Amino acid sequence: MKTLVSWSSGKDSAWMVHVLRQRGDVQLAGLLTTINESAQRVAMHAVRVDLLQAQADALGLPLWQIPIPSPCPNDVYERAMAAAVARAVADGFTHIAFGDLFLEDIRRYRAEKLAGTGLTPLFPLFDADTPRLAREMVTAGLGARITCVNPKVIDRSFAGREFNASLLDDLPPSVDPCGERGEFHTFAYKGPMFAREIPIDIGITVERDGFVFTDLQWRHTPSALSV
């Protein structure tokens, strides 16, 4: 199954790649990410494009950037995604994988939009026990930083923190450990799915559009640039 990965730059997408690479029936052949075209950052996660490209290089997969405006009306988003799906089918892709964990309405929306396109959705992490999954990611060596928090549901002090056992211990019981309801978003920079770690520096934290963002920057070291 030639498969395109819906890539958010976060821990769930990274873990999904790790899971799919252990299957014998899946050929991962590309990453697809929506980009805020004016800011040149990953939509919602606010990750810089150079960090996104560094992830793709460390995964050894081609990156498809889908530019969208901000804010983005739903019809504009759907047209952009429909064009990407048509391109994928023309390139011989048969499946697209999503890192959704338990939100049934999101899964249903994706399946409905892909029906009849020639691209079949995969949900390899769906119905996961998220407290257990979060601990499994950490134990396996997945490294990630929180890039965005919703201050309505989680304290702004969590922005920029490492996704580790200490963070999981500190999360309020009302917050999903994987942030599946949008409580927080992450950037994955190391783990068993990457050929090498992506060195990062932690920049400033700002509040914008009702969310709190921490800016991550790629530390351009010789090891980061080597193949």
In sequence order, the β-bridge partners of residue 146 are 186
d(CA 49, CA 29): 20
Q: Say what percent of the chain tops pLDDT 70.
A: 96
Task: Say which CATH number the domain at 155 has.
Answer: 3.40.50.620
How many beta carbons lie within 10 A of that of residue 82, not counting itself?
Answer: 13
**Chain mean position to CA 41:** 12
- How many whole angstroms from its chain centre is CA 91? 23
pLDDT of the residue at 71: 82
pLDDT at 227: 29
- Tell me the whole-structure pTM to 2 decimals: 0.92
Q: How confident is the model at residue 224 (pLDDT cuts 50, 70, 90)?
A: very low
State the pLDDT at residue 43: 80
Question: Would the CA dihedral through 15, 17, 21, 25 be positive or negative?
Answer: positive
Q: Please give the Cα distance from 151 to 213 (Å, whole number).
A: 10
Question: 79-129, pLDDT tens digit by residue?
Answer: 999 999 999 999 999 999 999 999 999 999 999 999 999 999 999 999 999
pLDDT at 221 over 80: no
- Quote the CA–CA distance of 91 and 105 in Å, as a whole number: 29
Q: Which domain holds residue 6?
A: 2-225
Structure tokens at 152: 């309505």
- Please count the structural domains in the chain: 1
69 vs 76: CA distance, rounded Å:
8
The pLDDT tens digits for 12-46 are 999 999 999 999 999 999 999 999 887 788 887 78
Q: What is the pLDDT of residue 119?
A: 97
C-alpha distance from residue 124 to each of 12, 91, 104, 121 (Å): 11, 23, 14, 10
SS3 category, 209: coil
Mean pLDDT of 119-145: 97
- Neighbouring CB atoms inside 10 A of 77's CB total 15
